């Protein structure tokens, strides 16, 4: 297996672990406060996004990449879940720990930044960020107003860092393929 194929395999697995971790973060809210503290749509949305993520990354791991149409579907899932779930919360709680969507939509932005072209990634990350703002906009009238905008910035920054990091890694393995390197010894 060449370096590019190995990196592609490792990248999709790393993104799967990232998404699993991001989704697992909300489990502590359920464990501490129980599901009755969040709107039913938040719980149902969570279960659906977990199921979607399992399917997405199962396909990605088998193919050592995530195909463009699956990336587009992941963006749609992120946008819809963000708006629907976030709007289900009362004023001031859409940007609280009760709302699970921020972590996995950052994961979607990162995944798109890694696998999509710049011309596809920029609008996709823009849509995800706009969905966050649309879903949480009511919270700008609460004491959480700055958090709405800070979280939008987090989505963009994570995507930018992932885009630059992935480009560096993919270029490095392209240069390394075909070259022999001595193993690093203790």
Expressed as residue numbers, the domain containing 19 is 3-176
**Per-residue pLDDT at 46:** 95
In a domain, 119, yes or no: yes
pLDDT at 179: 67
DSSP states of 130-175: HHHHHHHGGGGGSTTHHHHHHHHHHHHHHHHHHHHHHHHHHHHHHH
pLDDT 10s digits, 154-181: 999 999 999 999 999 988 888 887 665 5
Mean pLDDT for the stretch of residues 73-86: 98
Into how many domains does the chain fold? 1
- Domain assignment present for residue 186? The answer is no
Cα 8 to Cα 11, 21, 50, 69, 174: the distances in Å are: 5, 20, 23, 18, 12
Q: Please report whether residue 105 resides in a domain.
A: yes
Closest CA to 102 of 12, 34, 22, 21: 22
The answer to the question of residue 181 being in a domain is no
Q: Could you tell me if residue 183 is inside a domain?
A: no
């Amino acid at each position: 297996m060449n370096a590019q194929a190995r990196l592609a395999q490792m990248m999709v697995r790393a993104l799967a672990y990232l998404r699993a971790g991001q989704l697992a973060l909300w489990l502590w809210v359920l464990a501490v406060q129980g599901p009755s503290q969040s709107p039913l749509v938040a719980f149902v949305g969570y279960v659906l996004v977990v199921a979607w993520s399992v399917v997405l990354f199962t396909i990605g791991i088998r193919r050592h990449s995530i195909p463009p149409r699956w990336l587009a579907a992941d963006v749609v899932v992120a946008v819809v879940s963000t708006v629907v779930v976030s709007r289900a919360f009362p004023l001031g709680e859409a940007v609280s720990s009760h709302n699970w969507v921020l972590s996995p939509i950052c994961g979607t932005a990162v995944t798109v930044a890694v696998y999509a072209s710049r011309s596809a990634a920029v609008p996709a990350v823009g849509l995800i960020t706009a969905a966050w703002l649309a879903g949480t906009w009511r919270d700008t009238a609460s004491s959480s107003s700055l958090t709405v905008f800070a979280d939008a910035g987090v989505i963009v920054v994570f995507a930018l860092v992932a885009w630059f990091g992935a480009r560096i890694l993919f270029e490095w393995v392209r240069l390394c393929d075909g070259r022999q390197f001595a193993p690093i010894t203790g």
